[in-house]
Amino acid sequence: MGKKRVWRRKEPDSPCKQICVIHPDAKICIGCHRTPEEISNWGLYKPQKRKTILAHLPQRGKEIKLRRGKRRRNRLNRSPENMM
């Protein structure tokens, strides 16, 4: 039998990573880096708006990673040796 072709839309797919947690400070999802508004309205957006959002996501992700790294460094600096 031949391969079955899967129907796909000719528009950007959702960047969802199925890690749906909104970062408390940045107010974006830690998985896909979209705002709650962008997540809920994704199906309503036109392809061009989706492409624009997708273009901004890598920079948003870097902002969250910087915060995580700083917090870990701070926690490591609170070791008993550093508190004396």
* pLDDT, tens digit, 9 for 90 and up, residues 3-32: 777 766 677 889 999 989 999 888 999 999
pLDDT at position 71 is 57
On whether residue 52 sits in a domain, the answer given is yes
Domain residue limits at 36: 17-78
Please report whether residue 1 resides in a domain: no
Residue 6 lies in a domain: no
**Residue 11 belongs to some domain of the structure:** no
Is residue 62 in a domain?
yes
Residues 25, 26, 32, 36, CA torsion sign: positive
- Structural domains in the chain (count): 1
Cα distances from 28 to residues 35, 42, 63, 68, 70, in angstroms, run 4, 14, 10, 14, 18
Cβ(53)–Cβ(38) under 8 Å? yes
User: Which residues pair with residue 22 across a beta bridge?
Assistant: 29
For the entire predicted model, the pTM comes to 0.65
33 lies in some domain? yes
One-letter amino acid for residue 51 of the chain: K
Give the model's pLDDT for residue 74.
58
